[in-house]
Amino acid sequence: MSTDNHDEGHELVPAEPLADPGLPEHLPRPTDVDEGAAKRAERQVATLFGLSSVFALLFCVSYFVFDIGDDPDTVGGLGASNVFLGSCLGLALLCIGIGAIQWSRKLMSDHEIVEFRHPAASPQEDRDEALAALDAGITDSGIGRRPLVRNSLLGAMAVLGLPAIVALRDLGPLPGKKLEHTVWKKGMKVVQDVDGTPIKPDMMEIGQLVNAEPAVFFPQDGEPELSGHKILAEKAKAAVILVRMHPDDIKPTELRKNWGVDGILCFSKICTHVGCPISLWEQQTHHLLCPCHQSTFDLADNGRVIFGPAARHLPQLPLELDADGYLVAQSDFTEPVGPSYWERDRTDLK
């Protein structure tokens, strides 16, 4: 094979130091020269294909033999049915694959073939013809001579974008002020999130954290006020944690002096970074850590951010006691909870 010298016009480039020796000679494989070896390879391939059908049949057997259901932990914690179905299917497929590749490597001709490339570009005459055709088309349409047609069409196309956008309007309601309010209101009981039990201060020890929710999620009797996904949407804003600290450890701002009851404070559980529920409580340091991105808040210091990607303190829910001595909210949160958004007005720690 001759080498093609493709750097015509590069006189300054040094000559190629070594000439292309051309394609190496084809060396026969054992299966090319030894009929015994070829027969052996043939048997190997056929055996693999045969094994594949065995495994495929075993897959069908496993499908009917092994129970599934309540017992996902048999056979190494994986479930017997799953292990056998997966293994049989996997081996059935692998045997076909390995057999086919063995066939191609040992028995199919391994003479290399040379194909010539063509440049990606079309030949010049084709380009000229294509351009001429395009020109003819444009001329025939008269689009160049009649700008009024062209411009009004472009305008129509642009305006057609409006229906496409407007039609999507009903994807969802407008945010309005919804992100600024939660279901908390004056006098609403703070209850445990598991069973809705109201909480009295003496039920909490110093250092304890209780996951809590507004009582409205747990209707005592009659029709529930909220149901289904409405509860989830409200829960995504209204979930709180109660913590009890030693009153001397707490450094409330002037405004927040009477937001706690006997060292019990209530904070939003929704991280001000991107909204994960925060729950990792270090009682010695009074730090609350978000398990998603590790923003850390100091609950003794009004929920201030002390580490991590969150930019804002954790909102605090003002607490008081009702007539029966249960913890209730003084009001809704005084600022929006959860992740930041554009319209959220500035709220310094007050």
Q: How far is the CB of 3 from another protein (least distance, A)?
A: 6
Site for another protein in 309-328 (CB under 8 A): 309-312
Among 33, 156, 158, 171, binds another protein (CB under 8 A): 171
Among 26, 39, 61, 90, binds another protein (CB under 8 A): 90
* Closer by beta carbon to another protein, 156 or else 171: 171
**126 part of the interface to another protein, by CB under 8 A:** no
For residues 193 and 214, what is the distance between their CA atoms, to the nearest angstrom? 8
- b/e 13-22 (16+ beta carbons within 10 angstroms → b): eeeeeeeeee
* Closer by beta carbon to another protein, 239 or else 250: 239
**9 part of the interface to another protein, by CB under 8 A:** no
- Whether 332 contacts 340, CB under 8 Å: no
Of 305, 243, 252, nearest to 279 (Cα)?
Answer: 243
- Whether 325 contacts 200, CB under 8 Å: yes
* Closer by beta carbon to another protein, 104 or else 253: 104
Q: Write down the residue that tokens 């992740």 correspond to.
A: 339
DSSP label at residue 331: S
For residues 177 and 179, what is the distance between their CA atoms, to the nearest angstrom? 6
CA-to-CA separations, 183 to 246, 278, 279, 319, in angstroms, rounded: 29, 19, 21, 15
**87 part of the interface to another protein, by CB under 8 A:** yes
Site for another protein in 94-123 (CB under 8 A): 94-101, 103-104, 108-110, 112-117, 119-121
- Give me the phi and psi of 327, to 5 degrees please: -75, 130
**187 part of the interface to another protein, by CB under 8 A:** no
Stretch that binds another protein, among 154-162, 184-192, 197-205, 340-348 (CB under 8 A): 340-348
Stretch that binds another protein, among 127-135, 148-156, 197-205, 292-300 (CB under 8 A): 292-300
Q: Write down the residue that tokens 């693999």 correspond to.
A: 48
Q: How far is the CB of 145 from another protein (least distance, A)?
A: 34
**82 part of the interface to another protein, by CB under 8 A:** yes
Q: How far is the CB of 241 from another protein (least distance, A)?
A: 10
CA-to-CA separations, 292 to 89, 276, 296, 308, in angstroms, rounded: 38, 6, 11, 11
Q: How far is the CB of 66 from another protein (least distance, A)?
A: 8
Q: Write down the residue that tokens 């444009």 correspond to.
A: 138
**51 part of the interface to another protein, by CB under 8 A:** no
**339 part of the interface to another protein, by CB under 8 A:** yes
